[in-house]
Every structure is written in structure tokens, then in C-alpha cells.
Structure 1
Amino acid sequence: MLPVSDMTRACAFYEDVLGFKKVFENGNPVGFMILKRDDGELHLTLQPQHEAADFNVAHLLVDDAEALFRRCQQAGLRIVKGLKDKDYGLRAFVFEDPDGNRIDVGQIIGRSAHPAGS
């Protein structure tokens, strides 16, 4: 679950930049939301006074880290750690969402992160 200070802005970011789709929301104003993409599910909670942590709060395993890295750059997001192949078998980078939440992105090097049939 990620805390966000502006639910509308956060929803737009996760849908437009990361390709998630909203599947549930609760409250008026909306205080809780669930977004999904493929096998991933993300829960957002409204925290108007949210102050971001200085560590990674979510991890995404993706099929194409470079494409997502480019989308994050094009969206003007702060890149905390640049795209790099790691010795533990991931191509990875870290970015901050519009609320400053640090998201660690990884792609398994040498094979698809989501093999067919799984």
C-alpha cells in the first residue's frame, strides 16, 4: 500500500505512466483505491500530510526496464538510481512517484520476467 497526498494525481500517474487500471475505490472523497496491471495489484491510501520515506517502498518486476525507464524520464520523474545491470541478475533502476514514494524496478536479465503459462 502506498500513501499519496492527492488521489486524483496518483491515479492519473499510475494509469498513464505505468499502465495500471483502477478496479476499486472507496470514500467521498476517495481515500482508498486499488489498481491492477497483469498480475500486479497496487493499493493507494490518501494521506494528505504524507512525507515520503528515503528508502524504496515498492518493487516492480517488469519485462522491459529500459522502456519503463524512458517513460519515467519522459514524465519528468526524479530518477534516484539510473538504469544499470546488477551482478545479481537484474537490470534495475529506482524512481520517485509524484508523492516521492521510491519505486525499485527490476527486469530479470536473459529471460522474460513473466514466462508464458505462469
Structure 2
Amino acid sequence: MHPSKITSNLPVSDIDAAKGFYTDFLGLEVEEFNLGWVARFTHESTGANVQLVTRDADAPVDSVLSVHTPDVEAAFEEAQRRGYEIVFPLRTESWGVRRFFVRDPDGNVINIVQHAD
């Protein structure tokens, strides 16, 4: 696989309640997106960011990392070839990403994702 970016998925109970801490206090003033259950806040000049997740909208489990790749199909095939547990099948989501979840050897769930852009 060729990861282009890795984002940690920080669990929060309420994105709107957490938003002020990350935007006002930590200075991550740019809301890149907010789907209500997942949002990313970024510092405009440094690019530092955090992704907050309450509960995945479609998957039966939550992921701890999102690994962005330009070829999610190849990553999916490689994960299967290696015998890794696929905990959420490869699919295209309504918000425009194509993704699957795989479990690492220690039980962590990783979101492997390709954005349409």
C-alpha cells in the first residue's frame, strides 16, 4: 500500500461540545468538514489537525486511524491476500469516499480510505 496521509480518529461524545476546545483553545480554526458524527479541524498555516468521531455512521465498529491511499482497491486485495480480518467491507459511501476497515494484529480497527478528489 502507498499511504498518502494518516489521520487519527479521536473519539468524542459530542462534536459540537468538543469543537470549542479544538478550535478556540488549540487554534484549529478551519473546519474542513463536519458530517455530524465525524469532523476535522485544521490550523490554517501549519496544517496541524484533529479528526473527531462520535460513532461511525455506517460501520459496525469505530476505527482508530484513517489511512488515505490513492488505490483502495489494491489495498483491499493486499489485506485479503495477507489474511487480515476485514471488519467492514469495501464500499463507496454516500459522502463520496471508498473505504474498508481492517483489524491490525493487536485488534485496532484501521479505516483504509480513498477520497474522490
- TM-score norm. by structure 1 comes to 0.48
* TM-score, length-scaled by structure 2: 0.48
